[in-house]
Amino acid sequence: MSWQPSTTKVLPDEFDEVLIGHNVAVFQFYASWNRYDVTMDQILCEIADTYKDRIFIGAIDTDDQENWERCKELRILNLPAIAAFVNGQHFETVIGLLSKESLSAKVEKWSNTARAQHFAILRPASRSTNLRNS
């Protein structure tokens, strides 16, 4: 049996549901034959514990033809690759193996962006009073 990531495998028909259900969704695009993806998976698993209540981390198999269109949309041209979605919108695609520190910093940025957008929506608009001279 070939290697599979430790994170949740996301099938093409589950993708939109994952985006709706999470403020931050991070997808590792992987191939079972790519040894760099094994290292990326280990780093993601270490980070997942820290952010488990704030983000979703999943995996998308680039060898599955059903995922090829998504790879094109997100410009996944090389592996390892990660795509981050904040509040349902594509935020960033990262190509290449990152250190735990670099990836943690990115995840923190994505999480903070989601939180800031959430609070911006909740914050009531300022009201201006129209004063007239009588």
pLDDT tens digit sequence for 1-59: 689 999 999 999 999 999 999 999 999 999 999 999 999 999 999 998 888 888 999 99
Q: Decide the pairing of beta strands 56-61 and 8-9.
A: parallel
2 located within any domain: no
Task: Write down the pLDDT at residue 128.
Answer: 46
- 5 with 30: CB under 8 angstroms? yes
127 located within any domain: no
pLDDT tens digit sequence for 72-128: 999 999 999 999 999 999 999 999 999 999 999 999 999 999 888 766 655 555 444
131 located within any domain: no
Task: Write down the pLDDT at residue 132.
Answer: 52
128 located within any domain: no
For 61, 65, 90, 104, 131, the CA distances from 11, given in Å and listed in that order, are: 8, 11, 17, 25, 57
Task: Write down the pLDDT at residue 122.
Answer: 53
CATH number for 13: 3.40.30.10
Task: Write down the pLDDT at residue 124.
Answer: 55
130 located within any domain: no
Task: Write down the pLDDT at residue 52.
Answer: 85
35 located within any domain: yes
Task: Write down the pLDDT at residue 64.
Answer: 95
The amino acid sitting at 14 is: E
48 located within any domain: yes
Range of the domain at 59: 8-122
Task: Write down the pLDDT at residue 134.
Answer: 46
133 located within any domain: no
- Structural domain count, the chain: 1
